[in-house]
């Protein structure tokens, strides 16, 4: 819902996401302040945000004074020091915050855009297709598909990759049903809503992986419709692997239609991006020649970033397959370290095989959650052990957690609460389960 309100000196639009949305409880970044502007027709308060860094007009003839430049530089310097601090204490989301793309610095003076099909030149010549196809080729080799058999592109993120993959599925099977486990990323269900597809949610096991028996039962209930299946290799919250063939290796040698991964997560990149690869035969249904761009349109966004492919190309060359493999090993070992230390402290914790996500009892301290930017869901929190999450950082966090934890229940020994429904009896540290009852 979009409404228009008048405030002295300005007319602007305020959008109200939904009737249930509670503006008052919506939390704003600490340096923003919310004020109630007016009440809309439904009697709901319309809140606007006062931005401390509101954009203002340059004085006089529009020339920027050195004073104004200095003001802007100061605002940015404060911002940079604040995100530097926040970067140091980030543990909850799957982003590798450790990267150095300094050598690509001068490219920021260019608007690089890869509109159209990566494999077909476009009339817009400031592109980075040569890097884009090289990155695609690297992943195609990794996933065992021949050059003449695949198509793909560098997306603007994971959501776009999921949108593309699910759309390819729907175009191949217009009356298909989308199956996705309830632990799938929310973008999967968003795609189903956008495409108005029939979507069947499948239960999950405690590990976060799909419940195979429930999946089978639901498939059998819809025998007359093709199945479009979203398979998770590492679910968002628990890192569960949907192990449909008992060998969680990603490969086009298996009956997989398309694969989507992220560039800004494990690899690390200053902007969101991803890689989407599909079998060439599937893309024709989406492709349309567009005279205006002199290329073919087959992607969700019209003109994806031309910078992202260069960052990925640089990272892949810099680390190499073996470098990435080594980073993965370190992350898995560090994740085991974190899980073991939590368990040793009497805190329920779970770590799936092949996963770098440690799920544990949600800390009873909002300040701690905010400081370490933990992602929480119900009674559990998780830490994603990325390459920038070192043992020292984990120790810092653990010390902080252990110290604050001793204050939660006042005096005496802290009792772990039961989270066996989330992480299983064997991982739970509540009194009943730790005594092996």
Nearer to ligand PLP, 185 or 279 (CB): 185
**Interior CA angle at 258 toward 253 and 263, to 5°?**
110
Nearer to ligand PLP, 162 or 355 (CB): 162
DSSP per position, 285-331: TT-EEEGGGTEEE-SSSSS-BSHHHHHHHHHHHHHHHHHHHHHHHHH
**Which stretches of the chain bind ligand PLP, using CB under 6 A?**
157-159, 162, 185, 187, 236, 262, 272
- State which residue has the least CB distance to ligand PLP: 158
CB of 375 to ligand PLP, least distance (A): 11
Nearer to ligand PLP, 151 or 163 (CB): 163
Q: How many CB atoms lie within 10 A of CB 315?
A: 22
- Is the distance from CB of 218 to CB of 202 less than 8 angstroms? yes
Q: Which tokens sit at 316?
A: 């892949």
Nearer to ligand PLP, 159 or 352 (CB): 159
**Rounded to an integer, what distance in angstroms lies between the CA atom of residue 351 and that of residue 382?**
10
What DSSP element (H or E) covers 38? Answer: strand 33-39
Collapsed DSSP state (helix, strand, coil) of residue 161: helix
- Is the distance from CB of 150 to CB of 279 less than 8 angstroms? yes
Q: Is 207 considered catalytic here? A: no
Catalytic residue among 122, 181, 207, 355: 355
CB of 66 to ligand PLP, least distance (A): 39
Collapsed DSSP state (helix, strand, coil) of residue 49: strand
- Is the distance from CB of 357 to CB of 382 less than 8 angstroms? yes
CB of 330 to ligand PLP, least distance (A): 20
- Is the distance from CB of 334 to CB of 397 less than 8 angstroms? no
Nearer to ligand PLP, 158 or 176 (CB): 158
CA 432 to mean position of chain CA atoms: 36
Alpha-carbon dihedral of residues 241, 245, 246, 248, nearest 10 degrees?
A: -50
CB of 121 to ligand PLP, least distance (A): 28
CB of 162 to ligand PLP, least distance (A): 5
Nearer to ligand PLP, 185 or 371 (CB): 185
**Rounded to an integer, what distance in angstroms lies between the CA atom of residue 93 and that of residue 100?**
19
To the nearest 10 degrees (0 to 180), the angle between helices 307-344 and 391-408 is 50
CB of 191 to ligand PLP, least distance (A): 10
- CA distances 149 to 13, 229, 257, 278, 283, Å, are 48, 21, 12, 9, 11
Between strands 288-290 and 274-279, the pairing is: unpaired
Nearer to ligand PLP, 357 or 430 (CB): 357
CB of 40 to ligand PLP, least distance (A): 31
- Is the distance from CB of 11 to CB of 54 less than 8 angstroms? no
The catalytic residues are: 355
């Amino acid at each position: 819902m979009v409404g228009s309100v008048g405030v002295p000196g300005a007319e602007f639009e305020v959008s109200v996401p939904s009737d249930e949305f509670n503006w008052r409880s919506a939390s704003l970044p600490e340096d923003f302040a919310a004020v109630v502007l007016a009440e809309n027709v439904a009697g709901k308060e319309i809140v606007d945000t006062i931005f401390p860094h509101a954009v203002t007009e340059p004085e006089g003839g529009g020339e920027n004074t050195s004073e104004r430049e200095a003001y802007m530089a100061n605002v940015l310097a404060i911002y940079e020091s604040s995100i530097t601090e926040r970067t140091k204490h980030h543990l909850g989301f799957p982003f590798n915050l450790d990267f150095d793309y300094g050598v690509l610095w001068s490219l920021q003076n260019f608007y690089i855009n890869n509109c159209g099909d990566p494999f077909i030149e476009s009339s817009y010549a400031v592109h980075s297709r040569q890097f884009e196809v090289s990155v695609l080729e690297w992943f195609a080799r990794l996933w065992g598909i021949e050059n003449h058999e695949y198509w793909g592109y560098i997306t603007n993120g994971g959501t776009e990759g999921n949108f593309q993959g699910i759309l390819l599925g729907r175009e191949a099977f217009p009356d298909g049903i989308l199956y996705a486990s309830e632990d799938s990323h929310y973008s999967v269900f968003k795609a189903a809503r956008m495409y108005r597809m029939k979507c069947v949610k499948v239960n999950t096991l405690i590990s976060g992986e799909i419940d195979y028996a429930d999946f089978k039962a639901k498939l059998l209930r819809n025998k007359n419709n093709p199945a479009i299946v979203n398979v998770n290799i590492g679910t968002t919250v628990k890192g569960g692997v949907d192990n449909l063939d008992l060998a969680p290796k990603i490969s086009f040698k298996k009956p997989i239609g398309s694969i989507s991964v992220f560039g800004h997560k494990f690899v690390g990149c200053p902007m969101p991006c991803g890689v989407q690869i599909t079998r060439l035969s599937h893309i024709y249904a989406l492709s349309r020649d567009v005279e205006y761009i002199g290329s073919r349109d087959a992607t969700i966004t019209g003109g994806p970033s031309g910078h992202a492919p260069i960052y990925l190309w640089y990272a892949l060359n810099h680390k190499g397959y073996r470098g990435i493999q080594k980073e993965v090993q370190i992350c898995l070992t560090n994740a085991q370290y974190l899980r073991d230390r939590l368990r040793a402290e009497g805190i329920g914790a779970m770590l799936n095989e092949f996963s770098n996500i440690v799920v544990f009892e949600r800390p009873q301290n909002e300040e701690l959650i905010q400081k370490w930017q933990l992602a929480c869901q119900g009674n559990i929190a998780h830490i994603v052990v990325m390459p920038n999450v070192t043992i020292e950082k984990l120790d810092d966090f653990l010390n902080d957690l252990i110290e604050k934890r001793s204050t939660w229940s006042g005096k005496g020994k802290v009792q772990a609460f039961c989270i066996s429904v989330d992480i299983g009896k064997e991982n739970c540290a509540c009194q009943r389960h730790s005594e092996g009852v």
